[in-house]
Amino acid sequence: MSGAAAAPATSARRLEGAPFASEIRDRVAADVAAYVAGHGHPPGLAVVVCGRSAPSMVYLERILKACAQVGIEGSLVDVPGDDPETQARELTAAIRRLNSDPRVAGIIVQMPLPTGVGLRTVVDAIEPLKDIDGIHPLNAGLLRLGYEGFIPATAHAALEMIHRSGVEVSGADAVVIGRSPVVGMPLAFMLTKEDATVTVCHSRTRDLAAKVRAADIVVVAAGRPGLVTGAMLKPGAVVIDVGINVVDGHIVGDVDFASAERVASAITPVPGGVGPLTNALLLSHLMRAAQRQDQAKERFDA
């Protein structure tokens, strides 16, 4: 498919993340085996949790399971504290301990943080070479300038899904709903770099439906179940649903899947779409971090 997306004949093609994730995990497992042979231990991924929400814990459990599948040493670091001041202090201390631990190659801090604990707490503490989810200003700046650094895994997964949908990104009109520093804004920068015309929408956007209806590519990362419906979509649009919400005990996205799949040409399901690919890409980011840390150590020792 090239140019603007074409209208589907019946229903949208489902962009399942599992097959792509399996390919990535196979490559990562081989890299982990080589790392263990050279170092005598596996690379470590530390997942830092400050406050627990249902969607967050679902995501974290899957990351740790994926680590075990490929031989990565995954650990959950639970930050204590009942008030924001204590949580922020303990979060900073935990990240700094992990920065200095040679067996930890990568650190991620689960979002969102508790009310009153700002992202700046993480940004000021995390080591850029271990920041595999791309939130440190160095990595965020490299992304914005078009250079190689670590990028947020969820934004990376959304872009990969767009590529695998078959839509031509260059010249396409794209709408990204959500302006978070870990999904919406990084993805907007990446799509712009690939010559899409990008509109970033948010809670104060006027006439969201009109903007969505004009888009060839729609990415929804707002954390609001059912925000985008089929009636809002341009026929043949590619729809990437990044939302993870728990409604009546079930995981759902930000898109009303039943109505959207009758209009879109390709769409990611929730669960099973962006999530599995995000987890697999995070593992590949970890291995790249481990390799970069080895290179930095070699330069320091030389």
pLDDT digits (tens, 9 = 90+) for 236-254: 999 999 998 889 988 899 9
Distances in Å between the alpha carbon of 301 and those of 40, 287, 294, 295, 298? Answer: 20, 21, 10, 10, 5
Query: In what side-by-side order are the strands of the sheet with 197-201?
Result: 13-14, 266-267, 238-241, 217-220, 173-177, 197-201
Confidence of residue 301 (pLDDT cuts 50, 70, 90): confident
Half-sphere exposure of 22 (CA within 13 A, CB side): 4
- What would the CATH number be for the domain defined by 20-128+277-291? 3.40.50.10860
Give me the pLDDT at residue 56, please. Answer: 67
Domains of the chain, residue spans = 20-128+277-291, 152-273
| pLDDT tens sequence across 86-109 | 999 999 999 999 999 999 999 999
* 174: phi then psi, degrees, rounded to nearest 5: -120, 140
**What type of residue is 120?**
R
Rounded distance between C-alpha atoms, residue 71 and residue 64, angstroms: 11
pTM > 0.85 = yes
Quick one: average pLDDT of 40-65? 84
Task: Show the tokens assigned to 114.
Answer: 């508790």
Give me the pLDDT at residue 164, please. Answer: 92
Quick one: average pLDDT of 73-86? 92
Is residue 192's pLDDT more than 50?
A: yes
Quick one: average pLDDT of 215-244? 97
**Other beta carbons less than 10 A from residue 185's beta carbon:** 20
Task: Show the tokens assigned to 70.
Answer: 């490929």
Rounded distance between C-alpha atoms, residue 137 and residue 122, angstroms: 11
> In 134-277, at which residue ranges do the beta strands (DSSP E only) sit?
173-177, 197-201, 217-220, 238-241, 245-247, 250-252, 266-267
Is residue 174's pLDDT more than 60?
A: yes
Task: Give, rounded to a whole angstrom, the gap between the first and last alpha carbons of the chain.
Answer: 50
As a whole number, the mean pLDDT across the chain is: 92
| 234 DSSP 8-state letter | P
* Residue 288 burial (10 A CB sphere; 0-12, 13-18, 19+): middle
Give me the pLDDT at residue 249, please. Answer: 86
Quick one: average pLDDT of 188-195? 97
Q: Give the sign of the dihedral formed by CA 31, CA 152, CA 15, CA 197.
A: negative
**Among 8-12, 176-180, 183-187, 245-249, where is mean pLDDT lowest?**
8-12
Confidence of residue 146 (pLDDT cuts 50, 70, 90): confident
* Contact (CB, 8 A) for 105 and 289: yes
Is residue 1's pLDDT more than 60?
A: no
Which residues is 201 bridged to in the sheet?
A: 177
For residue 78, the surrounding DSSP H or E stretch is strand 73-78
Name the residue among 198, 191, 261 with its Cα closest to residue 233.
261
Confidence of residue 51 (pLDDT cuts 50, 70, 90): confident
Q: Which CATH number fits domain 152-273: 3.30.70.520, 3.30.360.10, 3.40.50.720, 3.40.30.10?
A: 3.40.50.720
